[in-house]
Amino acid sequence: MREFNEDTLTQEVVARLKKANDPRFRELMTAAVKHLHAFAREVHLTEEEWFEGIKFLTAVGQKCDDKRQEFILLSDILGLSMMVVALNHKTQPGATEATVLGPFFAHGAKEYGYGADLREGATMKGEDVWVSGTVRSVDGKPIPNAVLDIWQAKADGIYDLQTEGEFELRGRVKANEKGEYAFKSYKPKFYSVPVDGPVGELIRATGNHHMRPAHMHAIVSAPGYQQVITHVFVEGDPYLDGDAVFAVKDSLVGKYENVTDAAEAKKLGMPSPFVKLSWDFRLAPESGVKARKKIAASDAVA
C-alpha cells in the first residue's frame, strides 16, 4: 500500500513492526507509535512545532555527558520517573517506600562503619546532624550487616557530581550485626534541580518552580531482601508540597530534632548544639513482589 494519510498511516507503521522478533520490543514500539501519532493528531501538530520539539530533544542529548544526565532530569520533571517507580515498586505493607533515584547517584563511594563521618573533606559547612537507626525486615526484626548508600547536596544545594573535585557528603555505610547504623553529616537543605540546560528552559516555560524539598538519598541493601531506593525528607520543609520531581511520600518525611544537651553531643562526638534524625529502614523479603534490578556495589563508576 502507498499514499498514506492521517487516518491510515498509523496502521501501516504498526503493521511493519510485526516482523520484529522480540515480542516485548514489538509491544513497546507499537504503543509508542500509536500514542505519538495520536498526540500529533490531537493537537494538529504544525511543522514548526514538530521541529521545535526535535531541536529541544537534540539540546537535551547534547547537554548529557558522563556526569550530567539531562534525559533523566526530563523524565523526572515530567513525572515519568515516578510513574515507573509507582508501576514497578508496589510497597509491601510495612516496607520503606521507594522514590526516584535522581541523576546524582555514583558508584564507588567510600565505605564506612557505624558512626561514620560523611562530613570528612567537605568544602562547605552546614548544620551538624547525627543520623541513626536500624535496618529492619517488615516484621520489625533487625537485619544484620545491611549497607546504606547515602548521598545528599552540599549546603549550597549543589551535588559533588555537579562540580570538579572529590566525592562529598556521600558514602556506603555498613550497619552492624544488630542492624544499627549511624553517621554524621549536615542537615539537608532544599535546592533547585539543574536549570542551566534545556530542561530548565522547559520548566520556566511551564511557570512552575524548580525546587526540591530538602532530603538525603539512601539505597538500602541486604542479602535476601529487596533493595530500596529512597529518600528521607525534612519535616517542615516549604517545598514538600510541589516537589519539582513528584517524589515526596508522607511516610518518608523525618523529624530532625535540635539537641542542646552537651553531654549527649560529647557522647556521640558531635558539636553542641546539633541536630538528630532517628530513622529506621524496613526491607521486604526478596521473595515478595518483583523487585527493582539491584544497583551493585561492584558496578563501575557511572
State the Cα torsion 109-295-89-176 to the nearest 10°. Answer: -60
Q: What distance in Å separates the CA atoms of residue 52 and residue 182, rounded to the nearest whole number?
A: 50
Helix, strand, coil shares of the chain, percent, nearest 5, are 30, 20, 50
Nearest residue to ligand BEZ, by Cβ distance, number only = 102
**Rounded to the nearest whole angstrom, what is the least distance from the CB of residue 114 to ligand BEZ in the complex?**
26
Minimal distance in Å, beta carbon 162 to ligand BEZ? 10
Residue among 115 and 197 whose Cβ is closer to ligand BEZ: 197
Q: Which positions touch ligand BEZ (CB under 6 A)?
A: 73, 76, 100, 102-104, 193, 212, 245
Query: Whose Cβ is closer to ligand BEZ: residue 104's or residue 112's?
Result: 104
Measured CA to CA, the distance from residue 275 to residue 114 in angstroms comes to: 18
Residue 102 or 179: which CB sits closer to ligand BEZ? 102
Q: Are 237 and 214 in contact (CB under 8 A)?
A: yes
- Long-range residue pairs from 249-258, CB within 8 A, at least 24 positions apart, any chain: 249/97, 249/99, 251/96, 251/97, 252/96, 252/97, 252/99, 252/215, 254/279, 256/129, 256/187
Q: Minimum Å distance from CB 174 to ligand BEZ? A: 23
Nearer to ligand BEZ, 175 or 248 (CB): 248
Q: Smallest distance from the beta carbon of 237 to ligand BEZ, in angstroms?
A: 13
User: Grid coordinates standing for 302?
Assistant: 557511572
In the complex with ligand BEZ, the residue whose CB is nearer, 104 or 183, is 104
Question: Which cell goes with 274?
Answer: 546539633
Q: What sign does the dihedral 135-189-79-149 (CA atoms) show?
A: negative
How far apart (Å, rounded) are the C-alpha atoms in residues 37 and 45?
10
CB of 268 to ligand BEZ, least distance (A): 27
Smallest distance from the beta carbon of 76 to ligand BEZ, in angstroms?
4
Smallest gap from Cβ 79 to ligand BEZ, in A, equals 11
**Complex with ligand BEZ: residue 131 or 245, whichever CB lies closer:** 245
Which residue number, 169 or 283, has a Cβ lying nearer to ligand BEZ? 169
User: How far is 240 from 98, CA to CA, in rounded Å?
Assistant: 16
